[in-house]
Structure 1
Amino acid sequence: MTEKYLFNQTGIVEEIFLPGKAILTFALHNKAQRVLLWVKGFVHQGKNLDKSDTFAGKLRIGERIHFDCHVYDKESSDNCQWYAARASKEPPEELHIRPTVPRVINQNGYVSELDPGKGVILFDFYEEEQRVFFMRSKFYLFGKRPAGKRSLKEFLSENDPLQFDAEMCEANDDNFNCTWFATIVWKGKKPQVSGINAHIGVMTTDDVSADDSASNAGGVSRELLSADEFPSLSRPPGLLDYRHSYKTFEVNGTIREGKGNVLKLFNEECGIALWMIHRNTWETVFFHRKNSYLDSVSLSSFDLQESFSEGTSLDISAVPAIPEFPCRWIAHKAIARC
């Protein structure tokens, strides 16, 4: 059964019915929503409570709660539209590294607009029609991604049914004024992929021989670098400002452009790529999600590990880094093309 999920939501305790039932409220599209929470779905001081536990002494009316929820499709005497699968007073770990973004999974929709490399899906979200932007790199046909950069029009037509997972985003001209960004789209069987996004490519280098490898790249290998080697990553993520944090590690503002491939992703925010400076000469480039894109879509609020993969081809604009910095270059822009 298709269900609508929302992750990393924040609400307020509206009512408590001891021993183990509570009602939360939160806003969605400027409308008040009610969420049913049972004690067995509550995490208190890091411990999952049992259905025989009580909210007494653990939860109070007016407290701020973080939760994941899905549509409550049963008749509710409490007028609840959502059911909290998990809730806690402490924000989940990932809230410290990425913003709260509503997500939905296993949704049904149909193609509304279609270009060779991107399109729009319409679906019903809580009795409202919503627009979902999707890219060719996120599309799977019967469990597999079509080889090469073939046009979506070879496989899809307007009004074709599709299924997808998506995250909420800001509408703009670049994404056809859609309020959702599809992290994976499929027709037929849902593919088995790591994370909620499909990988978008493998390493392809036309000018490299079979003997070329990461060991040719200035002595850099996959094991040599870790996130701890980047000075500003030790700052609290909420204080991390990409432009100011890494400006001090730039030698000058002379920008070089070229093509490269993702070598390693350290976390949700950053990674390193390799690009060819001269034939058989590779150097490392540090990139941050603040300056990373899928075509024209900014990834500044998305998890890079769900959007890029090792080997993803990138168009890179970068400046040289000081010798003390772990990479030779710092990217001002890293773009993956669909």
Structure 2
Amino acid sequence: MGEKYLFSQTGVVEEIFLPGKAVLTFQLYGQTQRVLLWVKCFYHQGKLLDKSDSFLGKLNIGDFVNFDCHTYDKESSNNCQWYAARASKDPLDESSQSNKPTAPRVINQNGYISEVEPGKGVILFNFYDEEQRVFFMRSKVFLFGKRPKRSLREFLSEDDPLQFDAEMCEPTADNFHCSWFANVVWKGKKPQGVGGSTFGSFNGPCVVGDDVTADDSASNAGGISRGDIGGLEDFPTLGLPPGLSERQGYKAFEASGTLREGRGNVLALFGEECGLALWLVRPNTWETVFFHRSHAALDTVSLALFDLQESLAEGTSLDISAVPAIPEFPCRWIAKKVVAHC
């Protein structure tokens, strides 16, 4: 079993042993957990303290502390199950300062498949003596360093052992009522730069490796490339216009509400929110479609809260529903819905 890590937790100082040792407590699945904290792992006024420093005047019993921790398997005289790798009374990083709390995460876990479909599945693993369900998609799977491009059932079956990194999520019907979502799943050696190979780093890309399979794929569009489409330099900073909510979307840029449906492919992804697709509107005529993650899905899973660059890849086939855009908009169409299939 790999070590268990939890990120962006908040606890309270239960005990202090001067000069440089403290015990924090926090709740996990309704149970009180104890966390060992050494002064060398504590940030005070933005500066990491030295092991020779003291908590005196910096930390008091009852203080709230933000921390990242991992399981503590050594025998502890203070009955601590966790070890704080870093902690601070202030937010640990920029992401902690946002209004959205960071979900607990685990890395390098071992589990086994309980359900597998062509493009997704469920892993079971033991988390603090309780069996948990982890939802995973084919786009997150690496088998001996390679992404499977065909049905997962050709490579995996029930009870197969796997390793994974995951973050806690809300159980829904779309994710098979799982409490965890896998950032990366692998057999063999863990892929580098994907899903976070070092403690506290989970920003590497993990993309769908599907070949272009649409009947009218971009590869048959006369060799269209990014350079053939004007105005792409405007897209890297293009997000929701000021004053518009995701519910309103890009309605201000729609020329009409006439909906058209068809198939296309991802041409480019711009940051975590936006993308550009091409679709065939008539024989030998391809036009651009702008899409935002609030209207995107991967199979039945909404991508509204996910980084598009971690879920899609250039060339991915899409089912598209879109309306015409005003002439001033960089694309000819604005997507009301795009669906990529695992």
* TM value normalised by structure 2: 0.83
Task: Report the equivalent of 1:274.
Answer: 277
Task: Evaluate the alpha carbon distance shift between residue 226 and residue 155 of structure 1 in structure 2; reply closer, same or farther with a 3 A threshold.
Answer: closer
Q: Secondary structure at the match of 1:173?
A: coil
TM-align CA RMSD: 2.7
Match of 2:206 among 198, 209, 227: 198
Task: Report the equivalent of 2:135.
Answer: 133
State how far apart, in whole Å, the 1-side matches of 2:125 and 2:165 are: 11
State how far apart, in whole Å, the 2-side matches of 1:72 and 1:110 are: 24
Contact map agreement 2:265 2:278 (CA 8 A) in 1:
yes
Task: Report the equivalent of 1:212.
Answer: 224
> Quick check: 321-330 or 111-120, which moved more?
321-330
Which deviations, in whole Å up to 9, do the C-alpha atoms of 1:119-161 show, x marking residues without a partner?
A: 2211111111111122222222111112x32x22222222111
| Correspondences of 1:1-338 after superposition (within 5 Å) | 2-88=2-88, 89-95=90-96, 96=98, 99-146=101-148, 148-149=149-150, 151-196=151-196, 198-201=206-209, 204=212, 205=217, 208-209=220-221, 211-217=223-229, 219-221=230-232, 223-227=233-237, 229-230=238-239, 232=241, 241-244=245-248, 246-258=250-262, 259-261=264-266, 263-267=268-272, 270-278=273-281, 279-288=284-293, 290-323=294-327, 325-338=329-342
State how far apart, in whole Å, the 2-side matches of 1:202 and 1:120 are: 20
Contact map agreement 1:98 1:302 (CA 8 A) in 2:
no
Q: Secondary structure at the match of 2:79?
A: coil
Shift of 1:74: 1.2
Q: Secondary structure at the match of 1:40?
A: helix
Q: Secondary structure at the match of 2:83?
A: strand
Query: Which stretches in structure 1 are left out of the alignment for 5+ residues?
Result: none
Task: Evaluate the alpha carbon distance shift between residue 97 and residue 285 of structure 1 in structure 2; reply closer, same or farther with a 3 A threshold.
Answer: farther
State how far apart, in whole Å, the 2-side matches of 1:248 and 1:62 are: 51
Read off the aligned partner of 2:12 and give its amino acid letter: I
State how far apart, in whole Å, the 1-side matches of 2:86 and 2:79 are: 19
* TM value normalised by structure 1: 0.84
Which deviations, in whole Å up to 9, do the C-alpha atoms of 1:232-267 show, x marking residues without a partner?
A: 4x78xxxx8411364444444333333230512324
Q: Secondary structure at the match of 1:57?
A: coil
**Identity rate, percent:** 60
Shift of 1:105: 1.0
Contact map agreement 1:168 1:180 (CA 8 A) in 2:
yes
Contact map agreement 1:99 1:301 (CA 8 A) in 2:
no
Contact map agreement 1:295 1:336 (CA 8 A) in 2:
yes
